[in-house]
Amino acid sequence: MRVCLINPPRIQPKLWGKPSILQPLDIAYVAAVLEEDHEVHIIDAANEGWKTLQEVNGNKYRQGLKNEEIAGRLKQWSPDIVQITIPFSGWWKPANEMAEIAKSTNKNAVTILSGLHPSARPIDCLSHPNVDYVIIGEPEYTAQELVNTLGKEKESALKKVMGIGYMKDGEPVITPPRPPIENLDALPFPARHLLPMEEYFSAVKENPLRGEIGRHWTTMITSRGCPYNCVFCSVHTLMGKQWRGRSPENVIAEIKQLIDNYNIKQIDFSDENICLDKKRMESICDLIVKNKFDIEWFTPNGVRADTLGEMLLRKMKASGCKKIRLAPESGVQRVVDEIIKKNLKLTDVEQAIVWSKKVGIKVGLFFVLGLIGETKEDIEKTIQYAYKLKGLGAESFHFSIAMPVYGTELYEKALKGGYLRQCFNDDALAASEPLIETEDFTADELIELCKRANQINSTLTLKKILNAAKHPKKVIKFIQGSI
């Protein structure tokens, strides 16, 4: 079988600035499994077309290859199966366009959707005429079994494939869920040889990712799953709640491959809970040092503060860790405990910042505003708490408005309680405006509070000016954005 995997163009608010390059590790894993038995091709439409930005409704950007370019690639390669990943519900529209293009270039092509959105909304996805199958949950082995089965015409064979959905006689069929992959070491390393790696390197050189990544760089995942219950998080929809970690030796083998094959200098570890097993993380750090890997690494998705300790942080620093992100989410313990359900003590966040500053690791912080049950007074306290953490040594802050993403408890609560605004839909999830209003705050109030909260990042300091001065063109942007 000829299988084409597509990472579709993505849409995001213009307010966020120029979209960043995000290497699609999810489809690279699927490709690595499929190419054991099939001919596989990847179209990373979002990132191959990173210079192509189109305005959408005046307030959003569409980043990626144009539809006619994608159609030309599909027509030229002529795949039997086209699998499209949708990591975020706000990108459903361009993903659906990919399915339509696949069918228009080859009416016999089989289309499959995978990722977060199909996992949370399988029946809705199947209601679209250009979608043949959806994969629910972890995609690798499900995709492998589904593709291997598509050559068989018997319905009984499809029903045995766990973790998929399809239409039969006008009705959706959802098969039993597939258990989580227990042994992550058994997965082959992502098929980066099918990705436009040099394109990523050129992009971050021209537009450094987060101002931190500017050299040969990639993403890695060393663990999957999250056992916690944050109401706004949808990661369990795709990866489940059972935490599973790769062995330190397996992680090191992939890092060595990255250095040898791609001259990688910087790595984003995109785990949700990379330090959940402290001993495992210490071993990974020790092996990086032992192998004398010349790398810098970051944790852009965040690290739980209560999984850290001074010894571990010292090992992380020695192995190349430059910056971690922590997620207190709120500065009010009641909100953290009762509303977010994060099961995290704010004192642990404070201690982790102190330890990190002591060992020389930078700290960024995530906060979420506008949760159901949160008050304007709570938000004001959160803003003040952020300034307290800045005093302890945290150096960057990201305040976002709570989004009722499909597959989350927040979405279900907002839907049942009547808190969703009339503007709520799939496209709105790719915007930045609030989609929840309660008796405690309006959308306009939330926008103003979030703007004020993020001003903590705009304080002019001599250090920031000197850092910006290394890139003359950024000085003007920096000052303009700070006045």
CATH of the domain at 204: 3.80.30.20
How far are the Cα atoms of 23, 86, 120, 190, 405 from residue 89, in angstroms, in the given order?
18, 7, 9, 24, 7
Q: Are residues 254 and 322 in the same domain?
A: yes
Beta strand 10-13 with 217-220: parallel, antiparallel or unpaired?
Answer: unpaired
Same domain, 158 and 246: no
Q: Determine the pLDDT at residue 382.
A: 97
Which of these three, 144, 174, 204, is where a domain ends?
A: 174
* 232, part of any domain: yes
User: Is 170 found in the same domain as 188?
Assistant: no
Residue 70, in any domain of the structure: yes
**Residues 231 and 159 placed together within one structural domain of the fold:** no
In a domain? residue 179: no
> What pLDDT sits at residue 210?
85
What pLDDT is attached to residue 404? 94
Q: Say which DSSP state 436 is in.
A: B
Please identify, among 126, 145, 174, the residue that sits at the C-terminal boundary of a domain. Answer: 174
Please, what are the averages of pLDDT over each run of 10 residues along the chain (483 residues)?
Answer: 95 76 94 96 93 82 92 95 90 91 94 95 95 96 95 77 94 95 97 96 89 92 95 92 97 98 97 96 98 96 96 98 97 97 97 97 97 97 97 95 94 96 84 90 95 83 51 46 36
Residue that the structure tokens 């589904």 belong to: 146
N residues, the chain = 483
The total number of structural domains that make up the chain: 2
Report the pLDDT value the prediction gives residue 481, as an integer from 0 to 100: 38
Question: Is residue 71 within 8 Å of residue 32, measured between CB atoms?
Answer: no
Q: Are residues 166 and 258 in the same domain?
A: no
pLDDT score at 430: 74
Query: Whole-prediction pTM value?
Result: 0.91
Alpha-carbon gap, residue 289 to 293, rounded angstroms: 7
Same domain, 66 and 189: no
Residue 22 in any domain: the answer is yes
Residue 88 sits in which domain range?
2-174
Express the helix, strand and coil content of the chain in percent, nearest 5 each.
45, 20, 35
Please tell me the predicted confidence (pLDDT) of residue 464. 53
Q: Are residues 169 and 189 in the same domain?
A: no
CATH of the domain at 141: 3.40.50.2300
Tell me, yes or no, whether 155 lies in a domain: yes
Please indicate, yes or no, whether residues 389 and 257 belong to a single structural domain of this protein: yes
Same domain? 156 vs 229: no
Q: Looking at residue 60, what is its pLDDT? A: 82
pLDDT at 14: 77
Tell me, yes or no, whether 261 and 397 share the same domain.
Answer: yes
| pLDDT score of 459 | 61
Where is the domain boundary, 174, 196, 212? 174
Contact present, 78 and 107 (Cβ < 8 Å): no
Q: DSSP E strands: which ranges in 254-331?
A: 266-269, 296-299, 321-329
Verify that 382 and 463 share a domain, yes or no.
yes
The verdict on 366 and 262 lying in the same domain is yes
Question: Is there a domain that residue 277 lies in?
Answer: yes
What pLDDT, on a 0 to 100 scale, did the predictor assign at position 415?
96
